[in-house]
Structure 1
Amino acid sequence: MAVTLEGKNKFVPPPDLGNKCPEDDVRRFITDCMKAVGVPQENALLMADILVEADKRGHYSHGLLRTEMYLADMLKKLCDPCATPTVLKENASTALVDGNNGLGPVVSKFCMDLAIKKARETGIGWICNRGSNHYGIAGVWAMKAAEEGMIGMSFTNTSSLVVPTRSVKPVLGTNPIALAAPAEGGNFVLDMATSVVAGGKVEKKVYEGKPLPENWSLDKEGNPTTDAKKGLEGFLLPLGGAEETSGYKGFGLGMMVEIFCGIMSGGTYGPNIRDWTKADRPADISHCFVAIDPSCFAPGFESRLGDLMNYCRNVQPVDPQKPVMVAGDPERINSEKMKADGGITYDMSLIEEMWKLAKYLGVKPLQSV
């Protein structure tokens, strides 16, 4: 899964690097890297915002760690950093969009903005697109609708990394699901892979030199493994893990996402999607974005949802030191901690890789607090 730019590793990092970086400088660094490979300023800023948001929310597998993956596609001319999406067909509430092989976040912003616009006019906007690339964390796109007082949903297909129940051959991607809804006291934000874990979290374990928990991965021969490097070379299990622990439910959810994305959009789907470790052709990723205006239904949506969320938070926990949380709470806590810490703390091995990347691209390296 790891992406390494040829020639980058000839640079040797200095021994005095720090691993806590100001949020603004992480954003500056990613923007500079994107611009160095031909991404226009506006698109580079959007890319930086999406990756930094992932790290702020604690989804480190999709933040700074992903920078090199995006750059590799552009350096190999497999993605068009200047592309503008086009609407192929639409009606009052739906649209089919061609991303024209543009940057995933650029395509996604276009599509979710369109979904929100249609939802304001008709109560719902449902947009499918093909011809895109990796779009970051799914939750950030659903959150854009919630910020406008709407229920937002976001789905994407990905390269085949996940084995179906009873198989040792990957067919589907991690195919994430996200739903965000406005609520009093803090929005509900569900952001989850339909695999037992996102692929980037296996990669993060490799960076950290830590073993994998059981039931995350299979090695390339199809055997369960806790060795992070073997897991990185192998496959992921669907959400739920083995058949005995209901892994078929995760497999079914992954298929549902594929129906919304590759199948409905007419794009590439399932095992036909590019192996992202090879990066030998355009990714042709498909997404789906939904916005729903809750005011079209019973009044008081935000207060009722807030009431339910607070009830859940206040039920008796198994461990008094670990209160019950609802979707969105861990991310809020992580963002607040980052703010209190005065920066984002990364694993030192990632900081060293980003230093090498800065030298490779000729941009100013990340600064530490």
Structure 2
Amino acid sequence: MGKVVTSEVLRFMTDCFKSVGANAKAAEQQAELLLRADRMGHPSHGLNRLELYINDIIKGACQPNNQPKVLKQSASTAWVDANNVLGATASHFGMDLAIKKTRDTGVGWVTVKGSNHNGMAGFWAQKASDQGFIGMAFTNTSPLMAPTRSKKQALGTNPLSVVAPASQGESFYLDMATTAVAVGKIEMQLRKGEPLPHGWAQGPDGKETTDARLAFDTCCLMPLGGGEKTSGYKGFGLAAMVELFCGISSGSNYGHHVRSWSHSGAGGPANLGHCFVAIDPENFAPGFKDRLTESIQHWRQLEPSRLQEIKRKHQRESQTREEQCRM
């Protein structure tokens, strides 16, 4: 497979957004978000999704040149209307506001309505961590998850992320869907012609399937944990929690009210909800970063169950990013 230098990929995506009317800043922010996903080994959230964003703009389902605005705020909280801008624009605005409030009060909690798909949740939590804070980011999505014992989708993949700075160059990085996988992973299996692992998806009959084509056409994901016997109801509970933070708190569309996202750009505005949180650990017990580093290094040095090094998920992602940067 051929390789393309990352600067050219960034230029191409930026030009695509500009060609359909997005201003330079919005185009660059959204392109950088997609590129970051590819560089971290998440093609399901990268260039692979460009057509969806572009078609939303062409069809008028997204207005990239609008401006988000604060509807209500206190010293530590804010409620934002994204005014249907691109997800990257809305999310930079939301997390930047949370960071500002954290500098002033020690914590910032911001909910956003009227937004669009905002890519990797970890990208936004990392913004707060880069400023020395604990960052958390949540978003709702189109309904793709069947709650435990249900045949029908009622919640999204509803990802959550927590990123925290540590000492000695370490950091804690969690970015996860509350479904067993993101729907993009099923699409990637389909493109490779490979079956799905057990516990990923249901068919139209409500039963688990490993058929990638059937799963992709049905778009009915299982919760994190899979079926009821393997505690999938916990993933269902986490997805519901994210919906509480995002759609229900912000007044955006939520759960079964969110449109399906398709390559056609049909269905009108997504009106997604996000939640961004920043917390200053210096307001708590001294030594936070050192204790976090000690914990991370202890976990990594535990005796492995197989003949391989214990790795954090983010460690694998960092290695992928390093490989991509050599292109």
Q: Same fold (TM over 0.5)?
A: yes
Deviation at 1:223, TM superposition (A): 2.9
Whichever residue aligns with residue 244 of structure 1, its letter is: K
Q: What do residues 249-305 of structure 1 show as CA deviations (whole Å, max 9, x unaligned)?
A: 000000000000001111111001001136321100000000000111112211111
CA–CA distance in structure 2, aligned partners of residues 336 and 180 of structure 1: 19
1:1-369 to 2 correspondence within 5 Å?
19-184=2-167, 185-234=169-218, 235-277=220-262, 279-321=266-308, 323-339=309-325, 342-343=326-327
Partner of 1:61, secondary structure, is helix
Q: Distance between the aligned counterparts of 2:38 and 2:119, measured in 1? A: 11
Matched residue type, 1:301: F
Report the Cα distance in structure 1 between the residues aligned to 2:194 and 2:155, rounded to whole angstroms. Answer: 26
Q: Tell whether the 8 Å contact from 2:60 to 2:268 is kept in structure 1 after alignment.
A: no
State the secondary structure of the residue aligned to 2:276. strand
- Matched letter for residue 233 of structure 1: D
Structure 2 residue runs of 5 or longer lacking an equivalent are: none
- The answer to whether the 8 Å contact 1:188/1:327 transfers is no
Q: How far did residue 337 of structure 1 move?
A: 2.2
Query: SS at 2:278's partner residue?
Result: strand
Q: Return the offset for 1:222.
A: 2.3
The whole-number CA distance in structure 1 between the counterparts of 2:322 and 2:215 is: 32
Cα distance in 1 for partners of 2:20, 2:194 equals 33
**In 1, Cα distance between the equivalents of 2:260 and 2:204?**
14
SS of the residue aligned with 1:236? Answer: coil
Q: C-alpha displacement at 1:331, in angstroms?
A: 1.3
Shift of 1:229: 1.4
TM-superposed deviation, 1:327: 4.5
RMSD: 1.1
Name the % identity. 50
Separation (CA, whole Å) in 2 of partners of 1:24 and 1:320: 38
Structure 1 position 220, deviation (Å): 2.7
Contact 1:187–1:328 (8 Å) recurs in 2: no
Residue identity opposite 1:319 in structure 2:
R
Q: Distance in 2 between matches of 1:240 and 1:167?
A: 15
1:182-225 CA deviation, whole Å, 9 max, x = no partner? 01232111000000001111111222222211211112332322
Identify the range of structure 1 (242-251 vs 33-42) with the bigger mean alpha-carbon deviation: 33-42
Distance 1:264 1:284 in 2: 13
Could you tell me which residue of structure 2 aligns to residue 6 of structure 1?
Answer: none
Structure 1: stretches of 5+ with no match in the other structure: 1-17, 344-369
Letter of the 2:201 partner, please give it.
S
